[in-house]
Structure 1
Amino acid sequence: MKPLTELLKYVPKHNPVLAQDIERLKTFIFNSKKILILTGAGISTESGIPDYRSEEVGLYARTNHKPIQHLQFIKYPEVQQRYWARNYVGWNTFSQRQPNAVHFSIRNLELDHNKVSTVVTQNVDNLHFKAGSQQVIELHGTAFRVICLECEATYSRYYIQEKIRELNPCMSEISTMIRPDGDVEIPQEEIDEFKAPLCESCGGVLKPDITFFGDNVPKARVQSVRNAVSESDSVLVLGSSLSVFSGYRIILQAVEENKNIGLINIGPTRADGLVNLKISAKCGDILPKIC
């Protein structure tokens, strides 16, 4: 198990949680009947997975790395080769991350307290399912599933790791680096020699079942989220700045439908002026104290 200091190094600076904020959140939760919880990268930082935008510790603050763009991946075989090479090396570290107290608290609110109707997550790390949550919509897809862009055949990411290993027997798959999208830096000469996996059914291009930057969330998934918001009476945002519109529009819908909206995040968010309850805190410092 990773030491706690190692897991928390991607959590931005924050103040201790206030006793009155614990009581405010407790009132929000237990006065609600059906809560839709929206989670962002700010809860996975406590499992040792960095986010993109946090000051000093986010990926953008520490490197000049930019995440993969959808059109680049679709159009250019060399981008596909680079992506899969880096993702192959980073997969073991990324896939072994485990849920933290926030994920388990959300699970408890759903299954033990019957308060959470749906968890909508912007994360692709599978940690809600590892924690045991059941009603989960992965807004941006999952890194744990791979899809063929030609015939839409699907594969387990673990299976694809084995196939890549067979294609590249001399390439190391060990790295201590980790990024929100699961890839890592590797030498260009390793990328040039790398053989990317192809679909076993049709020979087509394989892509993680993730909504890359520049792509749109599938319409059916958007509608599922809209239905879940309408069926809830409250929306609770955990660990998201709501910078990405696919998450922010959930708040816009909740405001339009007059839902009770709560938000816990370190630092400001796009929706601070729209919510009924805003608490600036690390989610792991407050939610486990309630559930």
Structure 2
Amino acid sequence: MTDSDPIAALVELFADAPVAVLTGAGLSTDSGIPDYRGKGTVPRTPMSIRDFMDDSGYRQRFWAGARVGSAHISGIKPNAGHAALARLEAAGRIDGVMTQNVDGLHRRAGSRTVVELHGNGSVIRCTDCGNRWTRNEVLGWFDTLNPGVVERSSEAEIAPDGDARVGDVSDVIVPPCPVCGGILRPDVVYFGETVPPGVFAAAESLLNGAGALLLAGTSLAVNTGVRLMHRAERRGIPVAVINRGPTAADARAAVRIEGGTSEILTALVTELG
């Protein structure tokens, strides 16, 4: 649908019930995190959990990239789009946020109910014993084992997941689990894995109480978002899209706005009062 006043069309979706919101990488680009599929983005192969678990060199590259990229990530803050969604929740216009992002920015912006469909990159767990630590704790262990890695890779390019693309990692020592010596991994859903049933059920709960579904900053290239869109369609509620570039929902959208999430969500908050 093309509307002469797209913000007004969005406002109408909030008339009868809270709106369910699903966010993707495009919401965080204004915070300085590169998009995976936006204009000018270099195509890349998503990280496979099988590669991570089976290839020690892959883990060396991952942890070196995580450590070098952490200096960049530490300065990243929620943007106006995150803040707008937190305000909508506080006003009762949405009941929470479903997100495909693992950057934790929704909670930092003040959102209270956040369904992190793909996990949270700031949490690290052992694949053997299940113990968990913060990402910063594990990166501290990495520094002890690998002095000088950050300095040698200070010019490395930052990837869309916030990690750096480092060069030679043949001498990198990967920190093991301090409890059992097992393999440590981020507590996120990688390619080849599925969203935990309980997490998806929490997303469905938000969707089941909603009068519409708003997709913000996602192309719906990942199956998780597509499944939620199909559930919205089965419920007969309208779908709205805010995104830079095409999405898998464009042909189905009751409202489609081409543009950045920060400015459009901010304008929506203003119009809703």
TM-score by length of 1: 0.86
Alignment of 1:110 onto 2:95? no
| Structure 1 partner of 2:57 | 78
Q: 2: CA distance between counterparts of 1:278 and 1:32? A: 20
| Structure 2 partner of 1:4 | none
State the Cα deviation string for residues 30-50 of structure 1 (Å, max 9, x = none): x14222110011111111111
Alignment of 1:119 onto 2:103? no
Question: What is the aligned residue count?
Answer: 265
Structure 2: 5+ residue stretches without partners: none
| 1:19, distance to aligned residue in structure 2 (A) | 6.9
| Structure 2 partner of 1:265 | 243
Alignment of 1:164 onto 2:142? yes
Structure 1: 5+ residue stretches without partners: 1-17
Which piece of structure 1 moves more, 224-233 or 156-165?
Answer: 224-233
Q: 2: CA distance between counterparts of 1:194 and 1:32? A: 56
Cα distance, 1:175–1:216 mapped onto 2, change above 3 Å: farther
2:62 partner letter: Y
SS of structure 2 residue aligned to 1:117: coil
SS of structure 2 residue aligned to 1:279: strand
Q: 1: CA distance between counterparts of 2:102 and 2:160? A: 8
Give yes or no for contact 1:81–1:194 (8 Å, CA) kept in 2. Answer: yes
Cα distance, 1:93–1:19 mapped onto 2, change above 3 Å: farther
SS of structure 2 residue aligned to 1:88: helix
Give yes or no for contact 1:50–1:59 (8 Å, CA) kept in 2. Answer: no
Q: 2:67 aligns with which of 79, 85, 88?
A: 88
Q: 2: CA distance between counterparts of 1:185 and 1:260? A: 40
| 1:175, distance to aligned residue in structure 2 (A) | 5.0
Q: 1:49 aligns with which of 33, 44, 49?
A: 33
Q: 1: CA distance between counterparts of 2:167 and 2:125? A: 27
Q: 1:68 aligns with which of 47, 50, 67?
A: 47
SS of structure 2 residue aligned to 1:172: helix
State the Cα deviation string for residues 105-146 of structure 1 (Å, max 9, x = none): 0000001x1111120111111110110111001111111110
Give yes or no for contact 2:35–2:160 (8 Å, CA) kept in 1. Answer: yes
| 1:231, distance to aligned residue in structure 2 (A) | 2.2
Pairs within 5 Å for 1:1-291: 20-29=5-14, 31-56=15-40, 58-60=41-43, 65-111=44-90, 113-172=91-150, 174-175=154-155, 177-188=157-168, 191-291=169-269
| Identity rate, percent | 34
Q: 2: CA distance between counterparts of 1:255 and 1:230? A: 11
SS of structure 2 residue aligned to 1:86: helix
TM-score by length of 2: 0.91
| 1:199, distance to aligned residue in structure 2 (A) | 1.0
| Structure 2 partner of 1:3 | none
Q: 2: CA distance between counterparts of 1:96 and 1:222? A: 30
Give yes or no for contact 1:93–1:176 (8 Å, CA) kept in 2. Answer: no
Q: 1: CA distance between counterparts of 2:210 and 2:12? A: 17
Q: 1: CA distance between counterparts of 2:81 and 2:4? A: 18
| 1:157, distance to aligned residue in structure 2 (A) | 0.7
Superposition RMSD in Å: 1.7
Q: 2: CA distance between counterparts of 1:281 and 1:21? A: 11
**Bigger relative contact order (CA 8 A; separation at least 6):** 2
| 1:233, distance to aligned residue in structure 2 (A) | 2.1
Give yes or no for contact 1:34–1:232 (8 Å, CA) kept in 2. Answer: yes
State the Cα deviation string for residues 186-210 of structure 1 (Å, max 9, x = none): 221xx11111111111111000111
SS of structure 2 residue aligned to 1:236: strand
Q: 1: CA distance between counterparts of 2:73 and 2:191? A: 19
| Structure 2 partner of 1:15 | none
